[in-house]
Structure 1
């Protein structure tokens, strides 16, 4: 049975964790690897390099939206797709993310986390709800 008193706070915690993760990944691509370096990496794994730019933008802006609770359900739903596509790079590396080139366990976990946020909703402390009450 779902505890309706604490469920909004659980959804908030999940939304916040997912948003911080996206911010960390997006800012790393932006400031450490650089957009050009990220584009080069994308090309090296078979993705078009130009996709690095919208991915970086989504991770930074989407991460902020998740943290602040702005259309979080929609952002999380889009994130499910983005994270699943990112996971495909790791499918051949086995389960554990400690495997060479990272396995698929962590990116699929993030994909499921985004799905949970999309299904649960914005949670407590959302600035702009994705759905009308």
Structure 2
């Protein structure tokens, strides 16, 4: 590992990826139809429940593996911004006793923004898969 910044990004990437993966799996385990119904009850199209759950599961795995971390992190930012604005903002930062607040969503959003901006190269499959392309791009720009 090159430096402490890469170690920090690796920790963010692993925690964020695992967290999103678990949240996505729980949507399917709890019955995705329940999530679809809940989305519809708050005025969102039901198919977005499938999209959110798939982004969480597949994106979570991708981020843990270090595949397309920046792109997936942008999708996570959009999910968290939507969750905060549509659902959590009304119940406040800490919640209202019946529903959790947006503190965790905001933390996930901040982690995803950080990864979207900086990426994470340590132990990332992108480093192996796209290694030759990165060298070609640097040579072409020079």
Do the structures match in fold with TM over 0.5?
Answer: yes
More helix by share: 2
Post-superposition CA distance 1:37-84 (Å, at most 9, x none) = 110111122211111111111110000000000010111012111111
Q: Indicate the residue corresponding to 2:121 in structure 1.
A: 123
Equivalent residue pairs, number: 129
Q: State the Cα distance separating 1:34 from its structure 2 match.
A: 1.3
CA distance in 2 between counterparts of 1:13 and 1:63 reads 14
Which consecutive segments of 4 or more residues in structure 1 shift more than 4 A?
none
Q: Indicate the residue corresponding to 1:87 in structure 2.
A: 84
- Unaligned segments of structure 1, at least 5 residues: none
- Unaligned segments of structure 2, at least 5 residues: 136-142
CA distance in 2 between counterparts of 1:13 and 1:55 reads 23
- 1:49-88 superposed matches below 5 A: 49-88=46-85
Among 14, 37, 41, the alignment partner of 1:40 is 37
CA distance in 1 between counterparts of 2:96 and 2:65 reads 32
Q: TM-score, length-normalised on structure 2?
A: 0.83
Secondary structure, aligned partner of 2:125: coil
- Cα 1:65–1:99 shift into 2, 3 Å: same
CA distance in 2 between counterparts of 1:80 and 1:99 reads 26
CA distance in 1 between counterparts of 2:32 and 2:72 reads 22
